[in-house]
Amino acid sequence: MDVDLIFQIAGVGIIVAVMNQLLTRSGREEQAMMTTIAGLVVVLIILVDKIGELFATVKTVFGL
C-alpha cells in the first residue's frame, strides 16, 4: 500500500478542518457543515476507488 493515499486523506482532512474553523468563527455554521460533508464525500470517493482496485486485483490473482 502506498503512503500517498494516507497523505491525500490527511491533506483533505487538514484543509476541511481549517475551512470549518474559519467558517464557524465567522458565523457561517451552515457552510461549515456543508464543507465538512463535502470533505467526507471526497474521502469516500477516494476510498471507493481504491477498494475497486483491490477487488480487481483479488479477481486477477485468484482468476475469478
As a three-state string, the secondary structure of 42-64 is: HHHHHHHHHHHHHHHHHHHHHCC
Q: What is the mean pLDDT of the chain?
A: 93
Residue 19 contacts residue 32 (beta carbons within 8 Å): yes
Instruction: Over range 4-26, report the average pLDDT.
Output: 95
Number of domains in the chain: 1
Mean of pLDDT values over 12-26: 96
pLDDT band at 1 (very low <50, low <70, confident <90, very high): low
Rounded mean pLDDT, 42-63: 93
pLDDT more than 90, % of the chain: 94
Find the helix packing angle between 3-25 and 29-62, rounded to 10°: 170
Whether residue 55 has pLDDT greater than 70 = yes
Range of the domain at 51: 3-62
Estimate to the nearest angstrom the gap between the alpha carbon of 44 and the chain centroid. Answer: 5
